[in-house]
């Protein structure tokens, strides 16, 4: 199955992407995680992406699209994939359509995670990520590790993302409304959109997603 997850910062995309992709045995591909790994490793891509991420803006399409095109050419996507954080604007959505057409395939479904802004702010304020693997995501209140500051999965140190500062989060939410929200209409017109109510317990959200996928 070929799935896109869309939703505002803090909607739970990364959290649900890992659970659902593991369940379906397909790779979860997060452009944010790829950028963060490159920033951490100090690669030229990371150096370029960093200033955009730190200010909450989108990394330029030319960079992001080339990176996704390369990732979708890897053999592990042959049986499907779950994209988290891409596409992020209409030009990226159009490019994704073209990339998949070139592979003689197309998306099966786009899941929109809907959460209100007050909830998003609470989720982001308490989010902690593992330094070893940024798909290991916790929350100081809503998804606590057994030992504060330590990853349950691998024992790595938990930290707060640089772009989770209040001012940057406000800019990321504005960018979402201005640039990303229009892709909801883009996919609605193509009959690919399913809306998921993403407030409530984490397991309940997972169950809603898996139920929606049964209907695809």
Residue positions annotated with a catalytic role: 13, 88, 127, 161, 172
Q: What are phi and psi of 145, to 5 degrees?
A: -75, 160
Residue 209's nearest CA partner among 54, 13, 71 is 13
- Is residue 130 classed as helix, strand or coil in its secondary structure? strand
Contacts with 85 (C-beta within 8 Å, 6 or more apart), sequence order: 5, 13, 30, 31, 32
Distance from C-alpha of 14 to C-alpha of 93, rounded to nearest angstrom: 19
Q: What track of x and - describes contact with ligand AP5 for positions 192 through 211 (by CB under 6 A)?
A: ----------x--x------
Distance from C-alpha of 124 to C-alpha of 9, rounded to nearest angstrom: 8
Q: Which residue number, 52 or 186, has a Cβ lying nearer to ligand AP5?
A: 52
Q: Determine which residue in the list 2, 3, 4, 35 makes contact with ligand AP5, applying CB under 6 A.
A: 35
Does 50 sit near ligand AP5 (CB under 6 A)? no
Binding segment (CB under 6 A) for ligand AP5, from list 38-46, 135-143, 152-160, 208-216 = 135-143
Residues that bind ligand AP5 in the complex, under the rule CB under 6 A = 7, 9-15, 31-32, 35, 52-53, 56-59, 64, 85-86, 88, 92, 123, 126-127, 137-139, 142-143, 163, 172, 202, 205
């Amino acid at each position: 199955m070929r799935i896109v997850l869309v939703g505002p910062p803090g909607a739970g995309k990364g959290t649900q992407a890992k659970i659902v992709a593991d369940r379906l045995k397909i790779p979860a591909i997060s452009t944010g995680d790829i950028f963060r790994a490159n920033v951490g490793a100090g690669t030229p891509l990371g150096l370029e992406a960093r200033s955009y991420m730190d200010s909450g803006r989108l990394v330029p399409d030319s960079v992001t699209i080339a990176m996704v095109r390369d990732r979708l050419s890897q053999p592990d996507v042959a049986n499907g994939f779950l994209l988290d954080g891409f596409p992020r604007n209409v030009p990226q959505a159009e490019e994704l359509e073209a990339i998949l057409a070139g592979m003689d395939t197309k998306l099966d479904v786009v899941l929109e995670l809907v959460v209100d802004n007050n909830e998003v702010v609470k989720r982001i304020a308490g989010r902690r990520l593992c330094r070893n693997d940024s798909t290991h995501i916790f929350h100081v209140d809503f998804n606590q590790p057994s030992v504060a500051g330590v990853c349950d999965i691998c024992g790595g140190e938990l930290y707060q993302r640089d772009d989770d500062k209040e001012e940057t989060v406000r800019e990321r939410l504005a960018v979402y409304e201005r640039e990303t929200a229009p892709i909801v209409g883009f996919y609605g017109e193509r009959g690919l959109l399913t809306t998921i109510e993403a407030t409530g317990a984490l397991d309940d959200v997972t169950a809603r997603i898996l139920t929606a996928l049964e209907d695809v």
